[in-house]
Amino acid sequence: MTAQASFLVAVMYFLGAVYLTAYYHYFRVDAFSLGFGFAELAMQSLNLLTASAAIVLTAAVLTARHLAGGEPVPGQGRVVRAVDRGLRAAARAHLYVVGVGVALLLLWPYIRPYEWSGPALLGIGVLLGQRGRAPDAAAPPGVWSKAVPVFTAGLLVMWALSLVTGQLAAGEAREAAANLPRRTAVVLLSTARLGLAGPGLTVEDLGSGVRYRYRYTGLRRLIERNGRYYLLPVGWTAGAGPTYVIQDGSGIRVELLPGTRWR
């Protein structure tokens, strides 16, 4: 139980790190510079849990459990026996699955955004090959006949999952940028000019009679970590929009306001 839980947490950490790296890379921010902890990275993997992902994950776990279970148990239902026959047929054809996976890897530039299907099929083919081994095979279970194929299949499946995770994160980042006006609005008040300029950003000189003389509006908050505000101008674009990093201090006051709401 402890080993399985540790493995699950490690997978969650990996996928969470991939997700945050891809998400903030879209805004030209290094996710690891934000200082996320282990638990925060692991929790970010929950962003992958959609209805379709839950169905696929459940089917994959049940299939893997069945593959590891060996011979079917007498008294199983008709559906279970049909699934078992299908898995046996797929196991006998595992080399074809591997071949299709290799072909998709060679066609990598032409199958985007489905390039994850190549390593996924390779991993599935290797796992099916383990089920397809004859019980009286000459090679006894050992490192090269069992551990190495399973480890290789695991790496291939993780590669596929990382590609899917990166695509999902990039898609959500694009959606966030498209709805940027709805994010939390930020007003910067500073005692000195900050030299900020960007699409939709305005600066006002309130005069020498006030402490915070310069007022910047038209900003949206991306994230705030450890006293640093990562801000985007409301007209930000992926091609040329700047991402500002503002350190909170005595010469700056940050005000957070609701973003634009659609009727």
Per-residue tens of pLDDT for the chain, all 263 residues: 677 778 788 888 999 999 999 999 999 999 999 989 989 888 888 887 776 666 766 766 666 665 555 555 455 566 666 666 776 777 777 788 888 889 999 998 888 888 888 888 888 888 877 765 544 445 555 555 667 787 888 888 889 989 999 999 999 999 999 999 999 999 999 999 988 888 889 999 998 888 999 999 999 999 999 889 999 999 899 888 899 999 888 889 999 998 876 44
71 exposed, middle or buried (CB, 10 Å; 0-12, 13-18, 19+)? exposed
pTM: 0.79
Tokens 């998709």 belong to residue: 104
Q: What is the pLDDT of residue 136?
A: 47
- Separation CA 114–CA 127 (nearest Å): 21
Helical ranges in the chain per DSSP H: 2-25, 38-44, 51-68, 78-92, 94-106, 117-132, 148-178
- Can you tell me whether residue 142 is helix, strand or coil? coil
- Separation CA 160–CA 120 (nearest Å): 5
Sign of the dihedral through C-alpha 35, 39, 45, 47: negative
CA-to-CA separations, 129 to 96, 133, 153, 160, 184, in angstroms, rounded:
10, 6, 10, 19, 52
For 246, the token pair is: 């503002």
The number of helix segments (H) and strand segments (E) in the chain equals 7, 6
22 exposed, middle or buried (CB, 10 Å; 0-12, 13-18, 19+)? buried
**Angle at CA of residue 94, ends 93 and 100, nearest 5°:** 100
Cis? peptide before 113, omega within 30° of 0: yes
CB of 186 within 8 A of CB of 195?
no
E strand or H helix at 246:
strand 244-247
